[in-house]
Amino acid sequence: MKTEILNIDKQSLNKAKNIILSSGLVAFATETVYGLGANALDESAVGSIFIAKGRPQDNPLIVHIGKKEDIFNIVESLNEKAEKLMDKFMPGPITIILKKKDTIPNNVTAGLSNVAVRMPLHEGARAFINECGVPIAAPSANTSKRPSPTDAQSVLEDMDGKIPLILDGGPCEVGIESTVIDLTREVPTILRPGIITKEEIEKVVGKVDVVLSVKDNEKVASPGVKYTHYAPNCEMVMVENNVVEKTKELYDSYNKQGKKPVILCYEETSVKYKGNNIYILGKDDIEASKNFYTDLRKLEKIYDVIIAEAPKKESVGESLYNRMIKSASHKVY
């Protein structure tokens, strides 16, 4: 199959709609990362998402809507907290979990009775969903375990020959995936952190819990969190303590082993690594989040080891920390 990349216009949207309505897959830009979309009401189309990504069947998908009222085709009902969060943050980089309607096929939710719903801020994404006229089930458009794609070329890298169309909506503004929050529990619970933080959500609905990591054999709340994730094709480590000293030490030691290392660092500390291979992640956590996945895909092609400076575990930095530690397969210094 030939994979086309098209800018978003009337013609390409029409093409995308025809593909979706005949059970095909279309990758599309959102403000967070690119999604790999299928008609969420079409069980066999949804099945082919899992095949194209090599995604485990027990990891449920997010259903994307283009208009707020479309949520009533997906969930049984809204509770008060859901209404408040939708008013405040939708469209935007947040995904809410509620009890699903029977019309949503079981493979969308991996057999769970709850469904995740998101309305993207990216206008091209909403134009695509609205053009199709059906809810769009979409995970990130990467091969399972790879860094999520934040531009059309990164999608092509993983999906070339597997899907007919990528709608190119430019580079993603946010760069890491949406905040996922379960609203079926007594206390709303964040299952995946994102750029919309716990503190911001608490201002709207009061107390919020966070349940992120799980032990391998425990029953998992958000099945996606148990897998290796976001990993580049080269070795990667993350440095959290004594950062500059430890980073230099690791760099020298990899060099001695005959490996080609690179330091992925913040602008502020970059001057400390003069003479070494460095790559600047950004000036702050917002910029770093935007660049992170694309940087991994760039650096894996040039270097043997990425030594990354850990973000501070607070506010937006916390969600980047959560991705980075997985990219580094939990190798933290």
| Closest separation in Å from C-beta 265 to ligand TXA | 26
In the list 107, 222, 247, 291, the residue contacting ligand TXA (rule: CB under 6 A) is 222
> Each residue of 210-231: b (16+ CB within 10 Å) or e?
eeeeeeeeeebbbbbbbeebbb
Cα 216 to Cα 21, 43, 193, 219, 325, distances in angstroms: 38, 29, 20, 8, 16
In the list 192, 198, 297, 323, the residue contacting ligand TXA (rule: CB under 6 A) is 192
- Work out whether strand 114-118 and strand 62-64 pair parallel, antiparallel, or are unpaired: parallel
What's the length of the chain? 333
Nearest-angstrom CA–CA distance, 86 and 80: 10
Residue 97 lies near ligand TXA (rule: CB under 6 A): yes
Task: Determine contact, residues 149/155, Cβ cutoff 8 Å.
Answer: yes
In the list 223, 272, 277, 284, the residue contacting ligand TXA (rule: CB under 6 A) is 223
242's CB contacts (< 8 A; 6+ apart) are: none
Query: Per-residue string for binding with ligand TXA, 110-139, x by CB under 6 A?
Result: --x-xxx-x-------------------xx
By C-beta, is 56 or 170 nearer to Mg ion?
56
- SS3 call for 321: helix
Question: Contact positions toward Mg ion, by CB under 5 A?
Answer: 140
Q: Which stretch binds ligand TXA (CB under 6 A): 9-17, 221-229, 240-248, 254-262?
A: 221-229
Number of residues that bind ligand TXA (CB under 6 A): 28
By C-beta, is 210 or 302 nearer to ligand TXA?
210
Q: Which stretch binds ligand TXA (CB under 6 A): 70-78, 217-225, 246-254, 266-274?
A: 217-225
Nearest-angstrom CA–CA distance, 303 and 294: 15
Residue 191 lies near ligand TXA (rule: CB under 6 A): yes
| Closest separation in Å from C-beta 307 to ligand TXA | 26
Place of tokens 């995308």: 16
User: What residues numbered 268-307 form the site for ligand TXA, per CB under 6 A?
Assistant: none
| Closest separation in Å from C-beta 36 to ligand TXA | 8
Residue 20 lies near ligand TXA (rule: CB under 6 A): no
| DSSP label of 75 | B
Nearest-angstrom CA–CA distance, 148 and 230: 6
User: Which residues make up the interface to ligand TXA (CB under 6 A)?
Assistant: 30, 32-33, 35, 59-62, 95, 97, 109, 112, 114-116, 118, 138-140, 177-178, 180, 191-192, 222-225
